[in-house]
Every structure is written in structure tokens, then in C-alpha cells.
Chains A and B, each alone.
Chain A
Amino acid sequence: MVSFNILIAVALTYVAALFTVAFIAERRASAGHVGWLQSPIIYTLSLSIYCTAWTFYGAVGYAARSGLEFVTIYLGPTLVMIGWWWGLRKLVRIGRSQRITSIADLISSRFGKSTVLGVIVTVIAVVAATPYIALQLQSVTLSFAVFGQAGGQDWQDKDLNAAAIWVAVGLAVFTVLFGTRNLDANERHHGIVMAIAVEAVVKLLALLAVGVFVVWGVAGGPAAMLVRIDASDITLWQQSGGRWVSLIFLSAAAFLCLPRMFQVLVVENADERHLNVASWAFPLYLFLMSLFVVPIAVVGLDLLPPGSNPDLFVLTVPLSQGREGLAMLSFLGGFSSATSMVIVATIALATMVSNHIVVPLWLHLQADKGAVMSGDVRHVILLARRLSIAGVLALGFVYYRLSGGGTALAAIGLVSFTGAVQILPAMLGGIFWRGATRIGAALGLLTGLVVWLWTLFLPSFGLDAVISQTAMDAGPFGLHWLRPEALFGIIGMDPLVHGVMWSMLLNSGMFILGSLLSFPTPVERLQGAQFVNVFEHSTAARAWTTTSAGAEDLLIMAQRIIGSAEAQAIFQAEAVRQGKSGYLPEVTPEFVARLERQLAGSVGAATAHAMVGQLIGGSGVSVEDLIAVADEAAQILEYSSQLEAKSAEQARTASALRDANEKLTALSIQKDAFLSQISHELRTPMTSIRSFSEILRDADMSPQEQERYAGIIHDEAIRLTRLLDDLLDLAVLENGQVTLHRQTGNLAGLLDRALDAAGLHDGALEIVRQPAAEAVMLTSDLDRLAQVFINLIANARKYCDADRPKLKISVRAKGDAYHIDFVDNGSGIFPENQQLIFEKFSRVADQSKAGGAGLGLAICREIMHRLGGDISYLPGQYGAAFRVVVPKIWPGPGGR
């Protein structure tokens, strides 16, 4: 039999080991070797403080009493963790960007750094956590008692109380040592996190060991275990839907709202990516913790005499089988569960109490002594923390004594959860709804607190303890509808479901109503925007406008809060950023805001704001400033969109320039080609004229020959003249010197004339026309128009390369113009040439057929422009296609 002294020795050794672990971790962290101290596994394990002694011992008791319902306490957190992308991610991001120190700080900071809200949340948290801490003390002392009885000692209340005191004192010492060693700028406790990670492993191993022993050692394997479970008296599934759903909700909400959970989830989080691993690893941990609960409960009920306390089966089952080593491990597991929870809960609560109650009070008292504070704030804060730790543990102990340590405590876990959950509406509203206001949050929190106290907390002390039997039955002062377990006359509900439902409904209702009806202060709106839009890069929050404070005053204050080394580092970094040397930077509003956030990491947002406010002279941000910031942002947006428009315009211009350049380059090449071409064109007839005229002059020849040579000279001269005519014509057209004659005529007649003039008598080109459409009258310079048509028809005759060339002329009236299309069936014009053909000097392909000099289409275009119409190439017609647009009635030369 394990003697009680050995148990004490083991427990002390274990505690010493924890001290060592925490000490080493703290040393490594301060030396900068954080490495594996900040791994996702450590983070996940630190979350396991959710599993307290209530889990370790209580879950088995819960299962023995109410079947599978115990599992709801772990299903809720599982859902929250696997749904981390909804809420936890945002909470952690806000916690990091705003340097949140506790859940009270979150609420206070979100709602305009309100001190009042910080106080309310702190009070709720302390009231809700006290019974829970008492529960842990009870479980540790009970487990001592179990070993004491097994060793032959019979523990009296006196002994239990003494043990409880020792446990409480030991915990206080540990927490003070590692929880308040330093006032860190980011409120992280590497030593404690490491210690609770070790404890997490111990408690998991202990429970798994007992479970494995029960399933394989006692029952004889999983299959036999399942048979046993089916045969057992416990009815696992006896749920009323209401309780099942409420408990899952309750545990999920408590997981987010319990101060100790907030501490490890958000405050101690070193890296957002740790959530990624914890999202599945922590549910796995919960699963393993719950796996053997039912088997242990079933086997315990089978093995142990009726009337044994099922809450202690984890210890008593191994002991009854003579497995003392296992029982010892199990004891350490329970001890770990209790201590880790108490340590973190006290740190979280002490931070809240000192930041939101003690320091504001102290500041208030100091305020009389002038704006610049005297005294070491660090010292005050640390002292406040240590006293708060002692105070919270003392409260827990007092509660334990008052409640008598009886079985009434067992039910307190859920009551305590419900108390903590009152923070949920303000928290979720705060991070998802910009319209949530301070008034709404305060109303909701207070309503929830009152309803919770009345319906769950006070009745939990037992009948006639606080609320008299008559008040329970008939309501206070005979107000029937205020009965604690039947609010508004609705009877027959499970008291817990009743309390959860009404407190949450009224709490949320008041929160929403208060928010809708009130108007937030500027700081509130600023903070609201920063919290809700934490994932967007919002414009930097500027909470201060004037900077009357000297940098030196600020440095002195910062040193008092976060220590000289750290404060100087911050100031120096800022000075370097501003391009100054030394320690004193320019006091800009941005710097003050940043400094305030740094300080908030130590003393909470509300206190930091108040302290900075004292120095700055209390001139915070105003609505006008907020609007100015918004305007600035809008201006930047506007400016950037203008820039965007400008650059688009520039891109358009550049591409137009590029086009023009390409065209110019192409033209210049063409022009060179044309010059040689035209020299050639002029030279060829000149050469023949010269040679033939020489022959005529020198040689004796027959009259026939003379006639032939003279004819050649004549032809060549005509060709020359035509070329020169064209050049002249174009020049005249371009300079606007041409005289145009307004005439009215029939389009069909005009086309007939053009076809005749184009010399199509040889029938080489087949013409397809639409006589009906052509029978229209038009007013224009018909001679010039005919010239255009002739040119187009002649082009088709010259260049159409089909075997049986065909030209289709179609006419269509569109608006006040006619569209006359000339489409042949040749191979058309390549796209790259289409925009060039209307330029003068241009000619497509080098095949200089029929002496064209590349002027025809340029002349056509000039004519059409003069006539108020246009000529363009019509792509996609399976051949060369030109569209001539002629106004039905040309107003005349001066008409436009």
C-alpha cells in the first residue's frame, strides 16, 4: 500500500519538476531561444487547460449519472476549433494587432477603451471563475483523501481544509513566481505555458493509462467492453434535445469566453499559423480525453460497492485492483489538471483585476498629484497582480469553505460556464458588427449578469442558502413571474437550459437594442472599424491629434510601465525611423498611437489610453478627425483612380503614336519606292520619246514607219501627261483649290457612264448590278463621283486575279447617304496594306501593272471627303471591296 507520505513526496517531486521546466523555459526565452517553445504542439497542449479536474475526475462521474451527455462539454470546443476560420482566426489577429491582454481588455478596447466595461467583464469573470477554482481545490483535496483512506487514515473536514490551504498557497507561490516575473510588453509567459504543456501530456497519459487498463486489463478487450457497456445500468442516450443542444452551445461559447481559455488561445498565441495545427490537434486531444470515460464509468459501477463516489472512479478503480502505480499516475493526472487550470485562470483574472480595477483606481488617486505621474508604475502593477493572484485564490478557497466542499460543487461547472458565456454577445458583436456600441455592450453584460445570478448562480448554493424556498416557489416579493427557475411563468424547463436560454436571449436583446439606439464616441468608432476590418489594411488609427507632450515625458512614463531598456528601444527605433539620432523622436500622433498600443500590451488598452491621455492633455480624437481620416483615404483612392485613368490615357496615346509611327515608317519606305518608281515611270516614256524622236530625226524611213514611231511618241506623251495630270489633280484636291459643281442625277446613269469610261468593252470583267437599288437620285458633283467609280472599276479590272473576274456593285440607302459597295472576287488586299492603300504614293504589290502610280485611291479619298462622303476598304468580303459613302444631297462646296 502506498503510504500517504510517499504520495506527498511524489507530488512535491512533481511540483519541483514543473518548477524546473518553467524555470528553464523562462531562461531560454529570456535568452532569445524561443524556438520550440513556440511550436504549434506546445500551443495545442496549452489549450488543454480546458480539461480541468472537472474533466479528469468529473467526466466519469457525469457519465455515470447522465450517460453520454458529458461529451457535449467537449463537442462544443471541437466545433469551435474546426471552425477556426470563422471566429478564432479573427480573434487571434485582433489580439495580436491590438495587443490585447485579456478578454476584459478585448471588450474594453473594442468599445472605446472603456474602463467601465473592463470592470464589468472583470467582475463577471471573477464571479464565474471563483466556484470553478473552488472545484479544483476540492478535487485535489478529495484525491488526497482517497489515498489517505486507502492508507488507513480517515480524513476529517479539518484535514481536507488544511490540505486545501496548502494547495492554494502552493499554487499562489508558483503563479506569482512565473506569472508576474516580468511585466512583458506582450503578456506572454513562456515558463507557465511550458509547464502546462507538460501537465497536459501527464494528464492525457494518465487518463489513457487508466482507460487502457480498464478496457484490456479488466473488461478483456474492446468487444467485451462494448458488451459490458450495453449491459450496464447507465443509459447512455437519454437526451432531451434541449439539454443536448444547449450544452454543446454552452461549451462552445465558454471555450471562447472563459478568461483562462482566452489567455492561452489569444494572449499567449505566438503565431497565427499555430491555429492551423491546433484546429485538428486540439479536437484530437479532447477526443482522446473522452475516449475511455464511459468504459471507466461502466467498470467502476460494476466493480465498486454501491454508493461509491463516481467522481473518483479514475482513482478508486485502479486502487481497488491493487494497481498503485497506476493510481499514482492517475493522481498526478488529476493534480495536473487542477493546478494548470488554476494557474492560468488566476493569471488571467489577476491581469484583468490589476489592469481594469486596481490601476485605474490608483491612477485616479494619483490624478490629484498632477499630470506627470510619480512613483514606479511597474512596481504598482506587479504588486497589484500578485495581490490579485492571492485574492482570486483566496476567493476560491473561501467559496470552497462556504459551500462545504459537498457534492453541490459538482454541478457548479456548468453554472460557471454560463456566467462566463455572458461575455459572448458583446465579444462576437464587437468583432463582427461595427454598429455595436459601449452602451449596448454594458446593458447586455449587466442584464446577462443579473439574469445569470438570479436563475443559476444564487440557486446553486442550495435551497434557503441565499434564495429562500418561498422566493423559489412564489417569486421574490410575491412576483410570480420572477421565479428563478420559471421566469415569465414558463415552467417545466430544465433549470440549466432555462437559465442559459433566458440569460443569452435577454443579454443579446439588450446588447442589440442598446447598440441600435445609442451613438458611439469617436474612439469607439475608430476601434470598431479596426476590430471588424482587422483583415483589411485600414488606415492607421490616429487616436491623438495634438502632441503637446514632450518626448521626454513620454519616455519617462513608458519606462515606468514597461521598463527602461524596452522603452528606450522603442523610442530609439522611432527616432531612427524619423531619421534622427538619439533617444528622443519627434512626437507625432502616429508615434503616440503606436506607443499607446505598446503600453496597452502591459496594462490594458483602457489604462494605457488614460495614462497617455494624462500626458497629452486629454485631447483625444474627435468626430471631425475621424471624418478627416476617412476623407484622406478617399482622396488617396480618388488620386489613385485618377492616376489609373491618366495612365490608361497615356497608354492609348502611346499606342496611337506607335500606330502613326508605323504608318510613317511604312510610308517613308513607300515614298522612297515611289520616287524611284515615278522616276522610272517618267523616265520610261521619256526614254522612248527621246530614242524614237532621234530615229525620226536621223534615219531615212518609209512613211509607215514614220507614222508608227510618231504614234509611239504620241502614246508615251499621253502617258506622261496622264501621270502629271494625276499628280496635279491630287495636289489641287489636297489644297482645296478644286472647283466642284453641284449637279443632280440618277445613280444608275452615273454608274453606266463610269462603266463605259472604264473601258470594259473587252468583257474581261463581268459586272453584277442591282438596277432596282440604283434607281435613285442624288445631288453631288457627279463628274467627280464618276471619276471615283471609274477608278474603282479600273482597279478591279487591273488587279482582280480571279480566273473569271467579277465585280459586284451594290447600293444601299442608309440614313441620309448611299452606301455603294464595289466587291470583286479576287484575292483582296492583305490586312497590313488595308490602311495604306488610300495614302498617296502607296501601291500594293510591286507588280506595276498598267502604269498606275499609286495615286488613284488617294485621289478618290480626297474627292469623297470634298463631297462630304467617304471611301473605305471593306474587309471580309472574299475579295477586294470598297465602300463609297455618298450623301444623298450634297449641300455644296460651302455647305459644311
Chain B
Amino acid sequence: MNRAPKSPVFLERASYRQRRLRDAARLLPVLGAILWMIPLLWSRDQPAASTNADALLYTFGVWVALIVLSAVLSRGLRPDDATPLDTPD
């Protein structure tokens, strides 16, 4: 039984953009998680190790970047008409 409603395989430009915006929105938290894990790789033993201020600035810098990216993405995302566009990719 063919349950999936028939949906176009290829989309016009605007819908295509919308799809990729959603992909970006989905990947953003992954990017954030990776960036915030990076300090774990910093060496703590070396004398030239990162200072307090470095750690502070890095963590908060990533934060600002994520907020800005999220704000930019959310301007383009259209959650209201999500339903008809949601299934195919």
C-alpha cells in the first residue's frame, strides 16, 4: 500500500531555499555543541595554557555567534506552513 502522499521530487527555488534553511536550523545546535566541546581539548599542563580570560571570552564568543546565527535563520524560517512542505526533501 502506498501510504506516502505523492509529493514533488524537485522543488522550485523558494521551497528549496526553505528546506536548506531548515537543514541549517537543525544543524546549528550540533555546531554549538561541537564548539563548546573544543575547550576540553585544551592542554591544562603547559605553562602557555589558556588563561581564565581566554576561556571566558571563547565560551561567550561562541554564544554570541550562535545567537546571531539563530536570529538570522529564524527570520527566514516559516513554521506556519510547515505541514505541506514537511515530508519530501
Residues of A within 8 A of B2 (CB): 637, 641
Q: Are B29 and A71 in contact (CB under 8 A)?
A: no
Residues of B within 8 A of A85 (CB): 22, 25-26, 77
Given A239-B39, A280-B70, A535:B52 Cβ within 8 A: no
Query: A-side binding surface: helix, strand, loop or mixed?
Result: helix
Cα A276 to Cα B21 in complex, Å, equals 13
Q: Are A535 and B82 in contact (CB under 8 A)?
A: yes
Residues of A within 8 A of B50 (CB): 237
User: Closest B-chain residue to A89, C-beta based?
Assistant: B79
Residues of A within 8 A of B59 (CB): 68, 71, 75
User: Closest A-chain residue to B23, C-beta based?
Assistant: A85
Q: Quick one: which of B1-57 are within 8 Å of A by CB?
A: 1-3, 22, 25-26, 28-30, 32-33, 36-37, 39-40, 42, 44, 50-53, 55-57
Cα A294 to Cα B71 in complex, Å, equals 26
Q: Are A283 and B3 in contact (CB under 8 A)?
A: no
Residues of B within 8 A of A273 (CB): 79-80
Residues of B within 8 A of A82 (CB): 25, 28-29, 32, 66-67, 69-70
- Closest CB of chain A to B64's CB: distance in Å? 7
Cα A420 to Cα B67 in complex, Å, equals 27
Q: Are B29 and A68 in contact (CB under 8 A)?
A: no
**A83 lies within 8 A of chain B by Cβ:** yes
Q: Are A248 and B52 in contact (CB under 8 A)?
A: no
Residues of B within 8 A of A455 (CB): none
User: Closest A-chain residue to B30, C-beta based?
Assistant: A83
Q: Are B1 and A634 in contact (CB under 8 A)?
A: yes
Q: Quick one: which of B53-89 are within 8 Å of A by CB?
A: 53, 55-57, 59-60, 63-64, 66-71, 74, 77, 79-80, 82-83, 86-87
Cα A244 to Cα B69 in complex, Å, equals 24
- Closest CB of chain A to B43's CB: distance in Å? 11
Q: Which among A75, A83, A284 is the interface contact of B26 at CB below 8 angstroms?
A: A83
Given A78-B32, A239-B40, A535:B86 Cβ within 8 A: yes
Residues of A within 8 A of B36 (CB): 75, 248
Q: Are B74 and A276 in contact (CB under 8 A)?
A: yes
Q: Are B82 and A226 in contact (CB under 8 A)?
A: no
How many residues on the A side are at the interface (Cβ–Cβ under 8 A)? 48
Among A228-236, A544-552, A839-847, the one that faces the other chain is A228-236
Query: B-side binding surface: helix, strand, loop or mixed?
Result: helix
User: Closest B-chain residue to A284, C-beta based?
Assistant: B67
Q: Are B29 and A235 in contact (CB under 8 A)?
A: no
Cα A276 to Cα B77 in complex, Å, equals 8
Residues of A within 8 A of B29 (CB): 79-80, 82-83, 86
Residues of A within 8 A of B57 (CB): 226
User: Closest B-chain residue to A238, C-beta based?
Assistant: B44
Cα A112 to Cα B53 in complex, Å, equals 53
Q: Are A237 and B32 in contact (CB under 8 A)?
A: no
Q: Which among A234, A276, A641 is the interface contact of B79 at CB below 8 angstroms?
A: A276
Given A79-B33, A83-B26, A237-B55, A275:B70 Cβ within 8 A: no
- Closest CB of chain A to B55's CB: distance in Å? 4
Given A82-B66, A244-B40, A637-B1, A280:B71 Cβ within 8 A: yes
Q: Are B70 and A86 in contact (CB under 8 A)?
A: no
Q: Which among B37, B63, B86 is the interface contact of A283 at CB below 8 angstroms?
A: B63
Residues of B within 8 A of A694 (CB): none
- Closest CB of chain A to B37's CB: distance in Å? 7
User: Closest B-chain residue to A644, C-beta based?
Assistant: B6
Cα A78 to Cα B56 in complex, Å, equals 17
Q: Which among B22, B30, B37, B56 is the interface contact of A236 at CB below 8 angstroms?
A: B56
Cα A235 to Cα B77 in complex, Å, equals 41
Q: Which among A78, A235, A245 is the interface contact of B63 at CB below 8 angstroms?
A: A78
**A287 lies within 8 A of chain B by Cβ:** yes
Q: Quick one: which of A238-292 are within 8 Å of B by CB?
A: 238-239, 241, 244-245, 248, 272-273, 275-277, 279-280, 283-284, 287, 290-291
Residues of A within 8 A of B68 (CB): 280
Cα A237 to Cα B83 in complex, Å, equals 45
Binding site for B on A (CB under 8 A): 67-68, 71, 75, 78-86, 89, 226-227, 229-230, 232, 234-239, 241, 244-245, 248, 272-273, 275-277, 279-280, 283-284, 287, 290-291, 294, 535-537, 634, 637, 641
Q: Which 7 pairs, one residue from A and one from B, show the smallest C-beta to C-beta distance?
A: A83-B29, A280-B71, A280-B70, A237-B55, A236-B52, A82-B70, A85-B25
Q: Can you report 29 residue pairs joining A to B where beta carbons are below 8 Å apart?
A: A67-B52, A68-B55, A71-B59, A75-B32, A78-B66, A82-B67, A83-B28, A226-B53, A226-B57, A227-B53, A229-B53, A230-B51, A230-B53, A237-B39, A237-B44, A238-B44, A239-B40, A244-B39, A279-B70, A279-B74, A280-B67, A280-B68, A280-B74, A287-B64, A535-B83, A536-B87, A537-B83, A637-B2, A637-B3
